[in-house]
Amino acid sequence: MQPNNSSRTDSDIKPSNYLLPNGTGLKFFGDNLDARNSIEYPLQFCSAQDAAASRNNPIPVEVIFEDYYPSRALPAWLDEKVVNNRTGPETVSMFYTETGEIAAVLADEGSFVCGRFLNNPQRLQLILGKTSARQSILLPPVAVFVPLLQEIMQADSSLLFHSAGVFFPNGVGAMIVADSGGGKTTTSIAVLRQGARLLADDLIVVKDNSSGLVIHGIPEPINLTTDTKSFFPELGKLQNLPRRDSITDKQVLDPRLAYGEDCFIGKTGLNVIYFVEVSGKGPSVQPIPLQDSLGILIKAATFARKQKLRPESGQLIFDVISRARTYRLQTGPDPVALGKWLCERSSEHAA
């Protein structure tokens, strides 16, 4: 499991309440501190609220850690999926039953993480276990939690995207879409330091309401690579930033330390979508045909192998690309110049 830099201690193992920006409440409980910290990591900047703060009762999320196998917490059909779908530490697989139960499985030869989304009433269950004598579970539980969070969003007529979100000083709201390592963080910081505000660096919720398309951020600490830090002088000056984990060289930054307490914004209208291409040419944008945009956004909204989107989610994606301007953004060689250029041109792109 990935370590977390939270200051929680064993005495703090009690239910945690989070209110997501779109009004969904989540209540986590379970006795394993490491597992809880890893799963709750993306939500740590969301408001910790009482049950009454959410639109409805918060959805319970039970985290179970088992030091043996077979798992006593898994139903037989799901136990079979864990045994037969050990596709490696980077592939999460989704399964759907005729009774409406949804499961996500991440498994290797030594351990597994399995999540269940159940209806009537809605609840999540996340089970971590070993399938060998391995000393620890090396799989990231949050990789299973996020696809199940998408199922919660879809049940609420919202949709989760692997995307950054920013609000430009001129009032334009934008999504910045790219694969992992594809430039979302660098592009977001580039405009943040020019006065834009950040909804989130990695997870954005889109909802269509009476006032139009609205994007909500699920804010979390920014994971900085050495290259990203080197682009921006103010980040290079920050010393002793914690490591994200023991595997990568990424460091964890609360952006408020560098860009002020008000650098986050909870929601905004959606006007523009930038699909990032890291390139030595640019900065420049080219409009993208609707069909190409559709394929990219479907990919950005599916977080696991064989994850299904509901028909109304497909309609929401179509509405997004029909009503927001979509561009392929070539970044150019200088992120500092890119940030200034985007802040100057975003209103033109949204027109």
Give residue-wise pLDDT tens across range 172-182.
999 999 988 88
**Two structure tokens written together for 32:** 């394993």
* Cβ atoms of residues 328 and 285 within 8 Å: yes
**Amino acid occupying residue 49:** Q
**Two structure tokens written together for 247:** 């595997």
The predicted structure's pLDDT at residue 56: 65
* Cβ atoms of residues 338 and 332 within 8 Å: yes
User: Cα separations (Å) of 13 from 67, 131, 197, 321?
Assistant: 19, 26, 34, 43
The predicted structure's pLDDT at residue 246: 59
Cβ density class 95-122: b for 16+ within 10 Å, e for less? beeeeeebbbbbbbebbbbbbbbeeeeb
**Amino acid occupying residue 228:** T
Low-confidence spans in the chain with pLDDT less than 50:
1-11, 50-52
The predicted structure's pLDDT at residue 243: 77
Residue labelled with tokens 């989130």: 200
Q: What is the pLDDT of residues 21-44, one digit of tens each?
A: 878 899 999 988 888 988 998 898
The predicted structure's pLDDT at residue 11: 44
The predicted structure's pLDDT at residue 2: 40
